[in-house]
Structure 1
Amino acid sequence: MKILVAGKNGQVGQSLVSILEQQEEVTFLALGREELDITDISQVSKCVSSFKPDVIINAAAYTAVDNAENEIEAAFLVNRDGARNLAIAADEHDAAILHISTDYVFAGDSSGLYTELDTESPQNVYGRSKQAGEQQVRESCERHIILRTAWVFSEYGNNFVKTMLRLAQSRKSLGIVADQFGGPTYAGDIAHALLSVAHSIYNRKAKFGVYHFSGFPYVSWHEFAQVIFQRALERGIISTPITLTQLTTKEYPTLASRPANSKLNCQKIFEQFAISQSDWRLQLQQIEKYQ
């Protein structure tokens, strides 16, 4: 099987490369923005035509949620147009596309878990750009799988876990939002899920469409932070406990509005591919790797 990875320098992209380097049965080409500008359809077409992948994994995205409110064109250029270009190239060269999307396509104002069939109603520019990307992928390539995930963290790049550990070096107390809920998801587990799906596609066993994959159990950002600092204390990364204060979303205003409920129902991906939800607590046991 041949896999083309776009966005190799992101959290999921770096996780994919780390795993793919250990898989002798897979030939892969992983490219970053400098090597493959997904917003350039001519460049994308030439790359796909030359490499001839069986599966394209789109791990490239504009993810600066707050900045997107003022950089609308840039967000849509990558998240909508870039996704479309990769999907078109996949369709033209008989490849399948695995496209990563987000919980932010939902308003987050309902109770319970969001399923793949629930109505999309993004509340910020980033979410709208990702929703537009999903639509372009659906329309441009019949052999597509859209994987929505949430609250991504890893040893790579910038994320909530690394931010908390950094702040712990200089702060004795922190206020953390306690009225937004979701499933923290380890990027390495997203990568494993994507590759499992890719193998199913290659073996002609995949059912195409939209799937959810996120971590479990569901928690607030405040609860997530509590576990992070508990692990850090246990592993000697910090020497004294951090005092955490619960904040409401109104008390911690951001440029872009965030969903209050980002809980994704992941039953469909389990039923189709036997992929279970990521256990983020397990992934925090070796918390020193996130420093």
Structure 2
Amino acid sequence: MSTSHAQPQARTPNFAVTSRSWPKQAGLRKVLGRTLRRCGALVTLAGAALGGQAATPLVFAIPPEDRLSVTMAQRVLALAYQELGVEVQYTKLPVRRGYALADEIDGVGLGVTLDIALTQVRIEVPVSYEEAAVYATRTDIVPNGYASLQPYVIGHIAGIGYLETRLQGMRTDTATNVESLFRKLEMGRTDVVVDSRFNSCLIKTLGLRKVQLLHPSLETAPGFHFLHMRHAALVPRVTAVLRRMAADGTIKKVQAQALKEYRSQCD
């Protein structure tokens, strides 16, 4: 599903200049038309410079699963954009597809990576985090960093950049969603899965009896928000608001509340 949003075009005033009213002024009419078109373009650019604060909301891609990390990011961004008076919406896309459509969307709600596409600008303040953990059906596997997974066939979600980097050169098997990822593990098609520790609740929901969350976790990685470069004028404003929210503890409070709610639903 592709979501594309164009800036609304400024309406050109209807000056009803006709050949009858100005029978000998064709050249002047052409000049006037060019001037009005240029003015319209300037109005459109001015609207874009304001960060897209038009009637059309900004649309950000997020993964289709109900991930705790995504919930954290959405709540943090809701506060930030509300303060800026900018309406935002989300479209659910598989990670790899969301990155492939990076030129068509207004941004990415959460990316646990440093780069997504040349057109996407990373906001430097983390809005969430992922705790990478190992899942398995065997009890004799003890995670000790990514290198300890070398002997196994490792399942992970396709398109998650930092995991693809960590697992480079190892035997991997990708899935497009978390449910498929865990079902493959349950059926023995993979030996282990590397995914968010917070997805352990899904194991219960899916009724998977063999899959277990192993300890310790592999790492905690920060998650960032990305904006399309056509909203470049909005980047410093969003960054400033998020920096203040990080400094005064708002982001941590939002994340802690989301984690508390998650654990209460999981238990």
Per the TM superposition, whether the score is higher than 0.5 is: no
> Normalised by the size of structure 1, how large is the TM-score?
0.31
TM-score by length of 2: 0.33
| Larger radius of gyration between Structure 1 and Structure 2 | 2
